[in-house]
Structure 1
Amino acid sequence: MSAENPEQGFSFTDKRRVDPETGQVRQPQAGSGDTGAAEPSEAQEQAQAAAAGGRLDSDGPEVATGGEPAAETEPAAEQAEAAAQSEGAEQAQGTAQAEAPTASGAETGEGALDPENVSPANDTEAELLDHLKRINAEYAAYRMRSQREQDRAKEAGVASVVEALFPVLDEVRLARENGDVEGPFDTHVTKLFDTLAKLGVTQYGEVGEEFDANIHEALMQQPSDEVETPTVFLVMQPGYMLGERVLRAARVGVQAPAD
């Protein structure tokens, strides 16, 4: 409203954009000075949509609530269903790809990697397979050689320690034979020989055993009518063996059969 003349009372200008009687959109008057007339308002857009919906003939698409065609909802539903199917396919593909390495790993077990179980398909594969077999054989030989070297090194270490203990072991033996090792000292001596036995060291050389030049060293010999074969009758120093290796031959006196 605008007060153009106070004496004439109140007057107003109808600026409604939609005619309330006909429902048609009014055209803005030229030079009206209304800057907002050029831009359609929300009410004008709704009126235009309602008028357009009323003028649709029977051949047009059905109008849903809010003036939007109902046919537009069907493509949206189809798109949602297609997206769900695509997502399910991607998940199935990912699961298959995740299971593929497991199956492949199961096929490449210990038996599958054995060159003896592989049949070459061409000359190149045959050459590579032969090369792999040679490498496996060389590696097996290397492991065996390394193990033998380790065993020899261990045996040499034990032998060097036992050889250094020969004088002590001889004194202990003589002291035990003379009854000088008693009580707790005898216990210590027993533990010493038990420890040597755990390392594979054995003491040998007893009176009455048959003389063997491979393990005995005869320091004296005398004839005797009481024996039929050379026999040890005196042990001067016992012998020691590490496994099958003689560390020190037993030094003995031998009785030989009389002629």
Structure 2
Amino acid sequence: MNTDAGDVQDEALDLREEAAEPAPEVTEQGRLSELEAELAEAKAAVMYAQAETQNVRRRFEKEAQDAKTYAATAFARDVLSVADNLSRALSVIPPELREDEKMKGLVVGLEATGRELDSVFARHGISKIVAMGEMLDPNRHQAMMEVPSADVEPGTIVQEIQSGYMIRDRLLRPALVGVAKKGD
């Protein structure tokens, strides 16, 4: 009886040891699965890092291009006041002085300066905003007053107080305008 009981105990002990020790194939398979998961995770991280690097590069290139394109914005705003003053000076010269031989050279010189300034603006992508007769566009015009009018539709620009300018596709300075409203 002891031998039978001992054999049963030995078999039970053997079974417990087998259950406690995982099979070598299962361990290698599990480790392989872990390594494949880590590899997939590392590949995803590398792809994400490459995409992020490419986005940063594109953003930097766009910012550099914008800086180059719009670098003269502050200077252009300052020069606009010179253009405004020149335009005002030319507009107040009476016709008699324009025909006077002594003043004609000065007037012609001022007009040539105005044309040259417009040419320089055009070379640098600065253009005047057309306002008169247009509908008010708050992205390009700033309404300074309303003018009663039965002749045009309300919201139409009927007076330009100060010219507006664009630098390429960006607003440099809004046009200051008077807008029509329904007549009384």
TM bin, normalised by shorter chain, reads: 0.5 to 0.7
Any unmatched runs of 5+ in structure 1? 1-121
Question: Of residues 46, 57, 60 in structure 2, which corresponds to 1:132?
Answer: 46
State whether structure 2 residue 133 is matched by structure 1 residue 219: no
Show CA shifts across 1:20-59 (max 9, x none).
xxxxxxxxxxxxxxxxxxxxxxxxxxxxxxxxxxxxxxxx
Distance 1:191 1:139 in 2: 45
Higher strand share: 2
Length-normalised TM-score, structure 1: 0.45
Mapping 1:7-46, distance limit 5 Å: none
Match of 1:150 in 2: 64
State whether structure 2 residue 173 is matched by structure 1 residue 248: yes
The RMSD of aligned alpha carbons is 2.8
Question: Contact (CA 8 Å) 1:230, 1:257: kept in 2 or not?
Answer: no
Letter in 2 for 1:237: Q
Question: Contact (CA 8 Å) 1:226, 1:257: kept in 2 or not?
Answer: no
Task: Give the direction of change, closer, same or farther, for the CA distance of 1:230–1:192 in structure 2 (3 Å limit).
Answer: same
State whether structure 2 residue 107 is matched by structure 1 residue 193: no
Show CA shifts across 1:131-174 (max 9, x none).
43223212210111102322343355221011111210101222
Distance 1:257 1:154 in 2: 45
State whether structure 2 residue 153 is matched by structure 1 residue 228: yes
Identity among equivalent positions (%) equals 28
Any unmatched runs of 5+ in structure 2? 1-34, 99-105
Question: Contact (CA 8 Å) 2:161, 2:178: kept in 1 or not?
Answer: yes
Which aligned runs of 4 or more in structure 1 are off by greater than 6 angstroms?
A: none
SS in 2 for 1:233: strand
Rg (Cα) greater in structure: 1
Show CA shifts across 1:62-83 (max 9, x none).
xxxxxxxxxxxxxxxxxxxxxx
User: Using CA pairs below 8 Å that are at least 6 residues apart, which structure has the higher relative contact order?
Assistant: 2
Letter in 2 for 1:146: F
Show CA shifts across 1:93-120 (max 9, x none).
xxxxxxxxxxxxxxxxxxxxxxxxxxxx
Task: Give the direction of change, closer, same or farther, for the CA distance of 1:127–1:221 in structure 2 (3 Å limit).
Answer: closer
Task: Give the direction of change, closer, same or farther, for the CA distance of 1:127–1:222 in structure 2 (3 Å limit).
Answer: closer
Match of 2:74 in 1: 160
Letter in 2 for 1:210: M
Higher helix share: 2
Match of 2:133 in 1: 208
Task: Give the direction of change, closer, same or farther, for the CA distance of 1:154–1:185 in structure 2 (3 Å limit).
Answer: same
Distance 1:126 1:218 in 2: 60
Question: Contact (CA 8 Å) 2:152, 2:180: kept in 1 or not?
Answer: yes
Deviation of 1:237 (Å)? 0.8
Deviation of 1:127 (Å)? 4.8
